[in-house]
Structure 1
Amino acid sequence: MAAPPNPLRRNEASRRAILDASLQLCAELGYRRLTIEAIAARAGVSKKTIYRWWPSKGAVVLEAVDDVATTVTEHPNTGDLAADLHTQLTAVIGLLTPAETSAAVGLIAEALHDEELARDLRERIIRPRIDEFKERLRQAQRDGQLPADADLDVALDLIYGPLYHRLVFHLGLPGPDELRTLLAHALRAFGPPPR
């Protein structure tokens, strides 16, 4: 039985070309119409090269989205929690739009039907970003910007839930002013209880 390919032996120039090609083609064609053949042709590599490093187009796009998400969706800490969340959510919205050709949206849709991709998406992209979100909120708690007893799981749902609700039902993602309003209401939920 052959040993699995060693990802450390990947040619970095080819890897980058493949990941870039997958994102470019998603933006042009949409995830559903993306093929390994098209990625290979755009990247100037063989299909065999792609399949040696990734088992499917979902795995290729997952790595490409992970690379992009790592650089654009970090949680800033300027000392202003609402402004920092607005900045971070704006970056997330950028990854999700336009929904018809977003590689991230394509992955989310594909993951609904592919358990392995769903697991990889959750473990590689979603959970690490949830951990970063919670760490930013813990810092806000230490800074007195958020009550010490705030439930960070509920905060996650209140802040990110509306984006995905609007995405799934084609309601349009919020613009800058709507996003500020959404955040103000979500953060107000963690204020002192009404008397």
Structure 2
Amino acid sequence: MTDHQPVRAADRTERIKGAALEVAREAGFAKLSIEAVAARAGVSKHTVYRRWPSRGLLFLDAVLSLNTAGLGHPDTGDIVADLRTVMTTATDLLGRPPWGPLYQDLIGEAQHDPEVAAALNQRFIAPQTADTLARLKRAMDQGQLAPDFDLDLAMEILSGPLYFRLLITQQPLTHAYIDRVLHAVFAGMSPRSQYDGRP
């Protein structure tokens, strides 16, 4: 009997996360409650609280359980093409349900809950940042980027437009927009001789 207990616990955890996503999508994060999730999952609220001390941390786990495959950077030897692959994948995720609206809500909750903010950074934003920086560093070592360019700043410049549209202007995130961003950024990051003839 005990051999099956971990499986049942894992199934229950997944059912609770699925219920949290359903409630959030139907009613919005503002109306997400532990009680509503527990009722949807068919468990007691104490079962939920044993796993997550707050609705914010439950929501974080639920959102991050969604598939984000394709956000790892390939290395084809062409830094612009590789960044475009990842950034267009990200726009496809952010630009439509379920990931886009749920991630917007998660970012909003992180502004008010330091625990959610720290966990979101540790589990999602920091690994994505590290992956991008590693790819940029390899490109710099290969001479595809200016040797003195600030790679941390490059990461912020590349990701900033996506968050600006997602959270501020709510304009569409499109592949054409990503192409515009990459063109603007790489005109400044690439060795100058490739663009304006200066040494």
Task: Classify the TM-score, shorter chain.
Answer: 0.7 to 0.9
Q: Secondary structure at the match of 2:20?
A: helix
Q: Distance in 2 between matches of 1:69 and 1:126?
A: 15
Q: Give the structure 2 partner of residue 123 of structure 1.
A: 122
1:44 Cα offset (Å) = 2.7
1:90 Cα offset (Å) = 2.7
- Stretches of structure 1 that go unaligned for 5 or more consecutive residues are 1-7
Does 2:40 align with 1:20? no
Q: Secondary structure at the match of 1:11?
A: helix
Larger Rg: 2
Q: Give the structure 1 partner of residue 72 of structure 2.
A: 74
Distance 1:67 1:145, change over 3 A: farther
Q: Distance in 2 between matches of 1:10 and 1:125?
A: 27
- Aligned counterpart in structure 1 of residue 81 of structure 2, from 80, 83, 89: 83
The residue identity in structure 1 corresponding to 2:124 is: I
1:131 Cα offset (Å) = 0.9
Distance 1:59 1:98, change over 3 A: same
Q: Give the structure 2 partner of residue 3 of structure 1.
A: none
User: CA-to-partner distance for each residue in 1:65-107, whole Å, 9 max, x for gaps?
Assistant: 3333653522233333223222222333344345897221111
Q: Give the structure 2 partner of residue 36 of structure 1.
A: 34
The residue identity in structure 1 corresponding to 2:109 is: E
Q: Give the structure 1 partner of residue 43 of structure 2.
A: 45
Q: Give the aligned length.
A: 188
Q: Distance in 1 between matches of 2:171 and 2:84?
A: 17
Q: Give the structure 1 partner of residue 54 of structure 2.
A: 56
Q: Give the structure 2 partner of residue 5 of structure 1.
A: none
Q: Distance in 1 between matches of 2:9 and 2:163?
A: 36
* Structure ranking higher in helix proportion: 2
What do you get for the CA RMSD once the two structures are aligned?
2.6
1:21 Cα offset (Å) = 2.4
Identify which range, 86-95 or 159-168, moves more after superposition. 86-95
Q: Give the structure 1 partner of residue 9 of structure 2.
A: 11
Distance 1:90 1:29, change over 3 A: farther
Question: How many percent identity over aligned positions?
Answer: 39
